[in-house]
Amino acid sequence: MMTFLSIYLGVLVFSFIFKKYIKRFSLTMPNSSKDIQGQEGLKESMQTERRIPSLLKTPKNFRIGNDVQPKRDLSRYVRWPRYILLHRQKKILLQRIKVPAAIHQFSKTLDKNQSSKVYALLKKYAPETKTEKKQRLVKAAESKAQNQKTDSKKVTVLKFGLNHVTTLVETKKAKLVLIAYDVDPIELVVWLPQLCRRQEVPFAFVKNKARLGALVHQKTATCVALTDVRKEDQAEFDNLARDLRQHYNENHELLRTIGGGQVGIKSRHQQEAIKKAFELEELKKTSQ
């Protein structure tokens, strides 16, 4: 009995060792000529990589003191200045609440092509700078000292300043008025478009008060007015004034359309979900 058990155990151990050996042999030995070629190719590529350091794999390490971190959008984590926060909150608020037509019309500014034409024309009538004025006065003083005649012609330039422009519009001396869309508080100029309509003066809303200020050598300007144009610019001015009259003065929809009323993305998703649920209920009712 003991001999039979010892033989049986010996056979089990032998079979276990034999299986292990076969597995190792099958892993180490290639199955075909293709495997041999593949292994040779791997060896060659490894040798070339060792020879050429530029081909070596160098994974980036983003730990402290190693590779530079990739660029990420950190705008959500930035502590923005208060004026930027207020500007963004005001923009969202104007999208959500119902904005009266008298205020909403300021958002209907000239497009890029029209504004470029307007600014190109008005740039020709920019007022003189301080240095230019000083040079003109010095020249006039020198000519006066030499008893020479000086040109005392009235120069047509842009007029700026809210009170000054208002007076020009009331007296119908202004031929074109540009109003900045981002005046704060808006109550300063909210009545000016209606005054221009009443006095039949062509006007337009433009972006922005800083750009208007640059025309008249100021930081900002709420509005500018043109009182006269030269003969060479008359045809261009007439076409421009006609377009602006159609777009603003004679456009009664500007005073009827109410702004705002746009819901946020979350509310929009909720509304869409409710709408889909109602549609499914209707389908179920019709199918029954």
User: For residues 211 and 47, what is the distance between their CA atoms, to the nearest angstrom?
Assistant: 66
In this structure, are residues 241 and 202 in contact, taking their beta carbons and an 8 Å threshold? yes
Give percent above pLDDT 70 in the chain.
80
Q: Which amino acid is at 202?
A: P
In this structure, are residues 157 and 136 in contact, taking their beta carbons and an 8 Å threshold? no
Residue 25 has a pLDDT of: 47
- What are the chain's domains? 99-255 (3.30.1330.30)
In this structure, are residues 202 and 231 in contact, taking their beta carbons and an 8 Å threshold? no
Helix axes 112-123 and 234-244, enclosed angle (nearest 10)? 140
Residue 132 has a pLDDT of: 84
- β-partners of residue 159 are 225
DSSP 8-state assignment for residue 86? H
Tokens of 271: 């509304």
Q: Which residues of the chain have pLDDT under 50?
A: 25, 27-28, 30
Q: Which residues contact 68 (CB under 8 A, 6 or more apart)?
A: none
H helices of 65-208, where?
A: 82-96, 101-104, 112-123, 130-145, 162-170, 192-198
Buried b / exposed e over 242-264, threshold 16 CB at 10 Å, is: ebbbebbbeeeebeeeebeeeee
Residue 51 has a pLDDT of: 61
| Residues 266-287: tens digit of each pLDDT | 999 999 999 999 999 999 888 8
pTM of the predicted protein model: 0.66
Residue 27 has a pLDDT of: 45
Residue 47 has a pLDDT of: 63
Residue 2 has a pLDDT of: 52
**99 phi/psi in degrees, rounded to 5:** -100, 130
